[in-house]
A and B are shown apart, each in its own frame.
Chain A
Amino acid sequence: MSGKCLVIQEARLGDLIQSVPLIDALTKRGSRTVLLVRPGIASAARSLSLAHDVRAWPAFGDPGEDRPLAGRLSEAREFVGALRREGFDRAVVLNHHGTGIMLARLLGIPVSGFERVFDRGGEGGTPTHLSGWPGYLVASSRGIRGLNRIHLSDMWAGFGGVPDSAPFAPPSKKSSGPVVVVLGGRSPYRRWEPEAILSLVRNLRRVDGGEVILSGSPEDAPLGELIEREAGDGVRNMAGKTDVEGLSLLLSGAGVVVSPDTAPLHLAALLGVPTVGLFFASALFFETGAYRDGALSLVTSMECYPCAGEGADCPHRSCRNAPDPEVLARIIAGVRRGEDGRVLGKAYSGRLPGVDLWEADLSSGGLLQRIRTPRALTRERILARLMRRFEWRYLSKTEELPSLVSELEMESGDSSTPLFEDPGNVPLSLWFRRLGEGADLYVRLREQGIEGPHREKMIDRLATDFPMMWPLLHHLEWVEGGAGLLPPLVSASRALVREASEVSNLAGRSAGKIPTNKEWVYVAV
């Protein structure tokens, strides 16, 4: 894996920062990494020294530029020619964009990550499928996102090959520095209400007493000025006043950073600064929470979370009304004092209506999230954990996972939580047993290598008779086209069958509690 590697990352700064675990893994394996990014974030990538070298796409593809096609083509040719001559050994394409995918193909070097565009149709109109981590990323974003429990950084790290047994771990910093409150958010639906931010700042001043710094982009500057004015002493507006270097400096001196899902949140995590992320609307913390052990996320508990799309169709946007700014201020103050999620969860679990507190747990099986405000499990949440374990085994080809029981505990909060709250029409024990049976049938079908219309009929039948299989079939059939690697599939499926059966037994015992590991062993015997 050594040599010169071109990492094509065409997303925004926040996503770029979340690619660091991949770049770190490549570097550890001896690669000289060159990042190719969109022009708007190239200088940020350079100043943060995210790779050995950073390049930006030239402007030939910018539709906003008024220039003739021939000129664009000449520039594009120079660009491709120069990259071809540079002699890269491989390319890793992180985004499902035709541009990066095409560029990597044109360089004529080995490509990992996205090698083609899903479902565009290849030569002769045959549908194109994706496999491996890129396939899972597309499956997750196009249908099973609500069930996703794998962090984007872990997915991208998978693009580079087998993950390291030692996960990427940012340094851990403790500082008595100020609280940095980030005002922004990618879209209006992913920003906190100005009134709530003002209330939070006032409460922070009252409860914590330390300095509060407001951060954000130039377009947040008027709001920052307003809050600075209204909140009075001890509040400093820095929104619009820092470049990325300045922001990095500001964040690294912070005691805690509070932010919705933004680039500063990810940058703070990368710098090792304690963070409190606010997740609502379409921002899914399992996917893009701060990538740092112990990072806290306050997440809306509304059933509709995460929204499909950006949330533009939402009639009320009430997920932004929680948590209560005063409670949030107390939690932030606790983090500044060095309290962890367990302590804070115990202290505030009854005072966080509409919100759950989660704490990140960095493990060799990726970044996990542990709920700190106990919550009853539903079949969907159990299914999500089972799917996470299946996908991790299938795609990482590793068994390094916490036990099933401890993952269920992470999802529910503690072992005394009722196992489920909505039994539905089909008893939970039967439902999970059927999941195991469906997975078993599916893997047998794959092992037998059945093809053609008969296979399609069998898949349709499987989807009809075992509806709980849909997330699995969505990934393995719709996105992968049934063409993923068989050995890891067999191994992961066998584990899923076993674990679905364990969950089924657990539900059948119906004590309504998750047993401790000791009990579990006893039951198994």
Chain B
Amino acid sequence: MWQFDESVFRQNMESFAEGSLREILFRPDRNRERWEILSSKEGSPSLLWDNTSLHSRYDPVKEGERWVEGVISSIPESAPGILLLGLGLGYHLFSLLERSSLPVSVFEPVPDILRASFRLFPWYRFKDRLRFFSEPSDIRKVPGGAAVLSHVPSEKIRPDLYRSVRKLYEGGESPETYSLRVLVVSPVSGGSYPIARSVHRSLLRMGHRASLFDASVFEGSIRAIGGQTRIDLHRAQLRGLFQGFLSEMIMARIVSEKPDLIIGLAQSPLSPELLEKIRELGIPVAYWFVEDFRIATYWERVAPLVTSFAVIQKEAWIPALEARGLTNVLYLPTGADPEIFRPDSVAGEDPARYSAPLAFMGAGYYNRQHFLRSLVDLGLAIWGADWDPGDPLSRHVREEGRRISPEEAAQIYRNSPVNLNLHSSVYHRGVNPDGDFVNPRTFEIAACGGFQIVDRRSLLPDLYQPGEEIAVFDDESSCRTLVKHYRTREKERREMAALALSRTLREHTIDCRMDHWLSVLFEQGFRPKNTSFPGRQTVETLMNEASGDPELSRFLDRFRSLGTVDLDDLERGIRLGEAPVSDTEAAVLLMREFVREAGA
């Protein structure tokens, strides 16, 4: 019979609650509305945090045992101990303690969860070789060389803290040492808009303090401008005025948020004039030009004004950029957002609506209009916008040719036996023989575990092994052949899709791209900037300044895992903490108000 027991809690407290942990555990639950305890089918309790389950709802005990089975062999024999990141209710820890005799240090940053676990498991029985900590800075007390194990569902609650703790323990300085403030600027619309959103989500997952300037809210305004006049000069003037307005809005965000880094996507309203101003402020801008440089030529004005200019093409272009003296160029293919493009189906998945024997998802570009006509007899269905309603192909267009959301596209990729991926071209009637970059769809279909056949691109072999991880065609004839071959061979499809999925998760998610990009920026010397009032600086510096003030030093030590902090961070730390507010915390809150008043 499982139950939460106050006497167990008391004995656990007596055994483990010392120092800062004691303070934390004695305070009342502050996030009570965010979690609840449910009974699993087997009868043991499971914990739901923000409606996400930290344990199996069927049998958490078994799940804990399976978790240990999976990790026990990875613990080196020479390891002096184990560092477990994430406690949850503790089923996996309990199994681990039964299977291993090594000392275990457990990091659990959420006091509510720690308290719940302390009421459930008699951890005090293992007091000789078990310790808990909740403050990231206490990682310094964990002996070096321990095997690091992770409870992944717990990490999702505070990914920033877990990453920081891991990095602090493993040592060294990298982008992950810091929780960066990043402002992502999206375009108003177009293919790079969802990429901007993915970049934003990815940075949040990585524990950075990212925010999004979502320009899509102005899509109607841009259309309205176009509808006012047919005189091009007037349109250009109106758009110029609107661009100026958008620039002011972005600048307002920059002044308000003081980001360490700005990431702009292709077509985002970062005009050269605005980039000049941002440069004067000394804020680095990383620009991801996810466009074909041959068609969109505005890169010539943008590239020299940004700190890092990431592109999706290589051969013809990077040398040309470098020849102009630009040393800030980085080849960075697009990737898949694992939050949207994933192999498992979602609630409300509708395979009947979102699948076809041969599925094509994409806008009605010139080459696609021609190419797809040759495939209509193979069960072709088309999703996407801009298809000519007068064209015979329109009979195959689903959802009335409306724009399809990324979530809907993921359903199509998951549920269709064969996904056709044809890169767009406005010049060719079919496959672009000179096509080089790889479109996001390639990664997205793969990330969904979907099977795809894709037109040949010169940069594709670096990313997926043709014939093994991905099926590639060169023209209409080879495309038909591949479709006919694979449509009846489910096993081959599954094997190839699984390889592509595995490679994608390993190398081609948007998280991989962001990780790489930030690492390159770091290698190039980028660091979060210090400013004067209100004082964004490293915690180390702050602690040095506060060396004669032990109370303040103790307070600041709580923020060591963030690397750098400003008053916003310190204020947030207090709000996450609990009453009563100490004099030092009061000083921070008061100081923050002075900064607000000064408009800093």
Residues of A within 8 A of B (CB): 60-63, 66, 68-77, 79-81, 84, 97-99, 101-103, 106, 108
Contacts of A98 in B (CB 8 A): 593, 596-597
Given A69-B535, A70-B549, A98-B597, A61 and B587 contact (CB-CB distance below 8 Å): no
The answer to whether A103 touches B590, judged by C-beta atoms less than 8 angstroms apart, is yes
Asked if B552 is at the interface of the complex by the 8 Å CB criterion, the answer is yes
Interface of B is mostly: helix
Asked if B600 is at the interface of the complex by the 8 Å CB criterion, the answer is yes
Asked if B551 is at the interface of the complex by the 8 Å CB criterion, the answer is yes
**Smallest CB separation, B225 vs chain A (Å):** 28
Contacts of A63 in B (CB 8 A): 533, 594-595, 598, 600
Rounded to whole angstroms, the CA-CA distance of A98 and B600 in the bound complex is: 14
**Smallest CB separation, B545 vs chain A (Å):** 4
The answer to whether A69 touches B586, judged by C-beta atoms less than 8 angstroms apart, is no
Total A-B residue pairs with C-beta atoms closer than 8 Å? 84
Within 8 A of A (CB), among B562-600: 567, 580-581, 583-584, 586-598, 600
Given A61-B590, A68-B545, A98-B597, A74 and B583 contact (CB-CB distance below 8 Å): no
Task: Provide a sorted-by-A list of 10 A–B residue pairs whose CB atoms are within 8 angstroms.
Answer: A60-B594, A61-B594, A63-B598, A69-B534, A73-B546, A76-B590, A79-B590, A84-B586, A98-B596, A103-B590
Rounded to whole angstroms, the CA-CA distance of A66 and B543 in the bound complex is: 18
Rounded to whole angstroms, the CA-CA distance of A84 and B590 in the bound complex is: 14
Contacts of A102 in B (CB 8 A): 589-590, 592-593
Given A69-B542, A71-B545, A76 and B591 contact (CB-CB distance below 8 Å): yes
Asked if B247 is at the interface of the complex by the 8 Å CB criterion, the answer is no
18 new A-B pairs (CB below 8 Å) besides A61-B593, A98-B596? Answer: A61-B590, A61-B597, A69-B535, A70-B545, A72-B591, A73-B584, A73-B587, A75-B587, A76-B588, A76-B590, A77-B584, A98-B597, A99-B590, A101-B593, A102-B593, A106-B581, A106-B589, A106-B590
Rounded to whole angstroms, the CA-CA distance of A190 and B584 in the bound complex is: 42
Rounded to whole angstroms, the CA-CA distance of A108 and B535 in the bound complex is: 28
Contacts of B551 in A (CB 8 A): 77
Rounded to whole angstroms, the CA-CA distance of A108 and B586 in the bound complex is: 11
Interface of A is mostly: helix
Q: How many residues of B contact A (CB 8 A)?
A: 32
Interface centre among B542, B545, B586, B592 (most CB of A within 10 A): B586
Residues of B within 8 A of A (CB): 532-535, 537, 542-543, 545-546, 549, 551-552, 556, 567, 580-581, 583-584, 586-598, 600
**Smallest CB separation, A84 vs chain B (Å):** 7
**Smallest CB separation, A452 vs chain B (Å):** 21
Rounded to whole angstroms, the CA-CA distance of A79 and B542 in the bound complex is: 20
Residue of chain A at shortest CB distance from B565: A69
The answer to whether B591 touches A60, judged by C-beta atoms less than 8 angstroms apart, is yes
Contacts of A61 in B (CB 8 A): 590-591, 593-594, 597
Contacts of B534 in A (CB 8 A): 69
Contacts of A71 in B (CB 8 A): 545
Contacts of A76 in B (CB 8 A): 586-588, 590-591
| A-B residue pairs, 9 tightest by C-beta | A61-B594, A69-B535, A70-B545, A76-B587, A77-B587, A98-B593, A70-B546, A106-B586, A81-B583
The answer to whether B583 touches A80, judged by C-beta atoms less than 8 angstroms apart, is yes
Contacts of B533 in A (CB 8 A): 63
**Smallest CB separation, A93 vs chain B (Å):** 12
Rounded to whole angstroms, the CA-CA distance of A80 and B583 in the bound complex is: 6
Interface centre among B546, B549, B581, B593 (most CB of A within 10 A): B593
Residue of chain A at shortest CB distance from B532: A66
Contacts of A60 in B (CB 8 A): 587, 591, 594
**Smallest CB separation, A456 vs chain B (Å):** 22
**Smallest CB separation, B565 vs chain A (Å):** 9
Contacts of B546 in A (CB 8 A): 70, 73-74
The answer to whether B552 touches A73, judged by C-beta atoms less than 8 angstroms apart, is yes
Contacts of A101 in B (CB 8 A): 593
Rounded to whole angstroms, the CA-CA distance of A101 and B594 in the bound complex is: 11
Rounded to whole angstroms, the CA-CA distance of A60 and B592 in the bound complex is: 11
Given A70-B545, A70-B549, A80 and B597 contact (CB-CB distance below 8 Å): no
The answer to whether B583 touches A97, judged by C-beta atoms less than 8 angstroms apart, is no
The answer to whether B597 touches A77, judged by C-beta atoms less than 8 angstroms apart, is no
Contacts of B593 in A (CB 8 A): 61, 97-99, 101-102
Rounded to whole angstroms, the CA-CA distance of A71 and B548 in the bound complex is: 10
Interface centre among B543, B545, B580, B598 (most CB of A within 10 A): B545
Rounded to whole angstroms, the CA-CA distance of A66 and B535 in the bound complex is: 11
